[in-house]
Amino acid sequence: MNRECLHSLFPAPYTLIHCTLLMVFFFSLSLSYAVGPSHLDKNKVSTGCATCHKGHGTRGTTLLESPKDNLCFKCHGGAGKAKDVYSVIVKPSNHPIIQTSRYHVTGETLPEREGSVPRHASCYDCHTTHRSEKGNAVKGMKGYTGRGAGIKQISGEYQVCYNCHSDSANLPPEKNIATAFSPSNASYHPIETYGKNSFVPSLKREYTASSIIKCSDCHGNDDPSGAQGPHGSIYVPILRDRYEREAGLESPSTYALCYRCHNRTSILNNESFKTHKEHIVFNQTSCAFCHNAHGSATHRNLLNFDMSLVFPNNKGELSVMASVPGKPRCFLSCHVKGKTFDHMLSGPNMSKMSSSQSLQSRATGSRPLQYCVNNRCVPNW
């Protein structure tokens, strides 16, 4: 776009023509969409271009009316404003915009190639001021596939997030979020593409197995009446709802994040996993002990145990056999609220038998092995 033009939004007649053309261009742009760019809409920003740009300044810059973020805060800061983002980015969990936006460089290449560059986030990393519109605040951004390729114009919000949360050299590899959402994983929340599971009975009416969801469906403001978006929240890490990851009493609020889309009644009625209720309600196990909220490379149903609480069982086994839907056999031991739950195949008085004996008894069929937890056995599991 012609930056010269901006340089003289008002003075020289020659560039005024350019400006008129530019405005006609923007005007037609706003006509060609059902929803136009909000900042170029006279009904929303009545004082037009000059609200943000001024006629005099340094060539080659966009001659903004105020230094970068401050410009945004003129309208998106200050209590009482409907789209007050400032009061959100100071919440306990946030994008560190105030602290790090100064490291943003116009035209920078992301993901970051240098490990030593400080990590940053600014309004301009997620929004293109001239393109943002109602229902598509990140429209017009550059993005990243999460697997090697840059994207000139994103087709999904996650591609913006991957600019900084996937292959960035200044991010430890274990924090690469794109890994969990890879379509080649056994399961994942449907961000990049449709999910792999057609049996998700708990889904609320608004969702089906062919829904696509956004990062910002989970990461966002805890206050539904404040400015929406993954700017900040009282819930770490920038979650829209509460999601307890420690063992504790179940309630609609404890796991509100999941219950936003998954019916609590269905989960607690064991419609999918036959002992959901026993685990969640009676043993006070958090969803996070068993599920990874993003995805699982190796297991269906986002199964990915919290390895700080799960250990090999008494036989040294640590694995999951999920061949029968709803009744996976987990061979492991887990610690919840000071109690240990040992999951294994065993028979009566198993504790007195060595594991070679138990294999033998299985072979001869004399003592049928059952699936047991702490020697409490569940027939037909």
Please report, as residue ranges, which positions from 25 to 64 form the binding site for ligand HEC (by CB under 6 A): 26, 38-40, 44-45, 48-49, 51-53, 62, 64
* Least separation in angstroms between CB 376 and ligand HEC: 15
Task: Identify the residue among 12, 24, 209, 359 touching ligand HEC (CB under 6 A).
Answer: 209
Which of these ranges, 277-285, 308-316, 343-351, 361-369, lies near ligand HEC under the rule CB under 6 A? Answer: 277-285
Binds ligand HEC by CB under 6 A, chosen from 102, 147, 260, 335: 260
Per CB under 6 A, the list member of 7, 142, 294, 343 interacting with ligand HEC is 294
At residue 319, φ and ψ (nearest 5 deg) are -160, 170
Nearer to ligand HEC, 193 or 357 (CB): 193
How many CB atoms sit inside 10 A of residue 106's CB?
8
DSSP-assigned states of every residue in 110-151: SS-S-TTSPP---HHHH--TTT-BTTBTTTT--EE-SSS-EE
List Cβ neighbours of 283 (8 Å cut-off, separation of 6 or more): 247, 336, 337, 339, 341
Considering only residues 325, 337, 340, 359, which one is a binding residue for ligand HEC as defined by CB under 6 A?
Answer: 325
Cis before 368? omega within 30: no
Closer residue to ligand HEC in complex, CB, 189/342: 189
Each residue 65-104 as x (binds ligand HEC by CB under 6 A) or -, in order, gives ----x-xx-xxx-----xx-x---x---x-xxx--x----
- 44 in Cβ contact with 81 (< 8 Å): no
For 341, phi then psi, to 5°, come to -120, 110
Binding segment (CB under 6 A) for ligand HEC, from list 199-207, 335-343, 353-361, 368-376: 199-207
Report the length, in residues, of the chain: 381
Cβ contact 147:178 at 8 Å: yes
Verify binding: residue 207, ligand HEC, rule CB under 6 A.
Answer: yes
Q: Could you tell me how many residues of this chain bind ligand HEC (CB under 6 A)?
A: 121
Residues 233-252 that bind ligand HEC (CB under 6 A): 236-239, 243, 245
CB of 1 to ligand HEC, least distance (A): 4
Spatial separation of the C-alpha atoms in residues 355 and 352, rounded to whole Å: 10
Please pick, from the candidates 11, 115, 316, 326, the single residue that binds ligand HEC as defined by CB under 6 A.
Answer: 326
Q: Does 293 bind ligand HEC (CB under 6 A)?
A: yes
- Looking at residues 100 to 129 of the shown chain, list those that interact with ligand HEC (rule: CB under 6 A): 100, 119-121, 123-129
By CB neighbour count within 10 A (0-12 exposed, 13-18 middle, 19+ buried), where does 125 fall? buried
> What's the chain's Rg over C-alpha atoms?
27
Cβ distance to ligand HEC smaller for residue 158 or 331: 158
Comparing CB distances to ligand HEC, the nearer of 94 and 358 is 94
Work out how close the CB of 175 gets to ligand HEC at its nearest, in angstroms, rounded to a whole number.
4
The CA angle 262-126-150, to the nearest 5 degrees, is 95
The nearer residue to ligand HEC, 5 or 350, going by C-beta atoms, is: 5
| Residue 334 CA, distance from chain mean position | 27
Whether 245 contacts 292, CB under 8 Å: no
Site for ligand HEC in 160-189 (CB under 6 A): 160-161, 163-165, 175, 177, 181, 187, 189
Q: From the CB of 339, what's the least distance to ligand HEC, in Å?
A: 14
Instruction: Give the nearer residue to ligand HEC in terms of CB position, either 219 or 347.
Output: 219
248 within 8 A of 284, measured Cβ to Cβ: yes
- Please, which residue, 154 or 358, has the CB nearer to ligand HEC? 154
Q: Is the dihedral of CA 89, 95, 98, 99 positive or negative?
A: positive
Residues 1-20 contacting ligand HEC, CB under 6 A: 1, 3, 5-6
3-state secondary structure of 231: coil
Q: Nearest Cα to 108, choosing from 163, 174, 153, 179? A: 163
